[in-house]
Amino acid sequence: MTRTRNAYVTLVTNADYAMGALALVRSLKLTGTPADILVMHTGGVDASALAPLEQLGAKLAKAELLPTSAAFNERHQRAKLHADAPFTKGNKPTFHTPLDNFAKLRLWQLTQYERVVFIDADAIVLRNIDRLFAYPEFSAAPNVYESLADFHRMNSGVFVARPSEDTFRRMLAALDRPDAFWRRTDQTFLQSFFPDWHGLPVFFNMLQYVWFNLPELWDWTSISVLHYQYEKPWEEDHPKAERLKPLIDLWHAYHTGKAIPDPNSLQNPPGK
């Protein structure tokens, strides 16, 4: 099999994330990248929701949920996980299904590629990031959105990986150990599996809460990827919608493809 050098990969598990992926794919195409753009999708997505992604030039790949045990699935189903490890910093939308997150690991089976950059479907890319393909496995940005003390934690919304069936097999064995509980699903697992992860600058995965929690870190001229963690920009009237309005407006511009501004022209947050 001939291996294509690079691909951007995202995961779509329902119609909401298909909506997010539309903005992401359009944003990637606008950067002029020559890399493939591949959308993995589970059985929770209708063909009609995926069609616009193909029309933008994305490739589609079916991704089955992982063959995890019934006990594992019970520990990580939505109600139990959110009760045992509640999200206290922001609200996860009702369409968020924690078990689906582990399907992200299927990207290690995309062995037609030498290197992939994974980007969550609730993100947009503001400038070309092809240089990430030169980064080692496993590279990811820190989970910083509340304080600088969080630099030791990884966020799995953007990362660099090298597909390998051997790595995928080892992941499955490590994932579904007896009594394993991954508090933040794939994110906690990946930090455990790659304990010596290589840190990317926060600008490659700028989390939206930085806008009001750490405005001194925000710089539109440097941000490459904007990640809408917690509340999604397509949700109507969510609790932080007013505070995040400039970011939400930007997402809608990419989603519709209309009046997309130059990121360098945007105003930094109050307090910057």
Distance CA 254, CA 167 (A): 35
Residue 265 to residues 30, 87, 127, 140, 167: CA-CA distances in angstroms? 17, 34, 13, 27, 42
CB 3 within 8 A of CB 107: no
Distance CA 24, CA 124 (A): 5
Per-residue pLDDT at 92 = 56
Per-residue pLDDT at 83 = 54
Per-residue pLDDT at 198 = 97
* DSSP code at position 159: E
CB 53 within 8 A of CB 22: yes
SS3 of residue 191 by DSSP = helix
Per-residue pLDDT at 256 = 97
Written as six digits, the tokens of 41 are 């999708």
Distance CA 108, CA 90 (A): 30
Give the contacts of 206 (CB within 8 A, at least 6 positions apart).
217, 218, 223, 224, 225, 226, 227
Q: What is the pLDDT of residues 191-230, one digit of tens each?
A: 999 999 999 999 999 999 999 999 999 999 999 999 999 9
The torsion angle over the Cα atoms of residues 36, 42, 43 and 46, rounded to 10 degrees, is -50
Domains defined for the chain, CATH in brackets:
4-205 (3.90.550.10)
Written as six digits, the tokens of 98 are 């924690």
Q: Please name the helix (run of DSSP H) or strand (run of DSSP E) that holds residue 43, with its range, or none.
A: none
Distance CA 123, CA 117 (A): 13
Q: What is the pLDDT of residues 122-138, one digit of tens each?
A: 999 999 999 999 999 99
Q: Range with the lowest mean pLDDT among 78-87, 192-201, 229-238, 252-261?
A: 78-87
Per-residue pLDDT at 1 = 46
Give yes or no for residue 4 having a pLDDT over 70.
Answer: no
> Model pTM?
0.91
Give the contacts of 197 (CB within 8 A, at least 6 positions apart).
138, 139, 140, 154, 190, 191
48-68: average pLDDT: 95
CB 128 within 8 A of CB 32: yes
Question: Which amino acid, residue 221?
Answer: T
233-249: average pLDDT: 95
Distance CA 246, CA 154 (A): 26
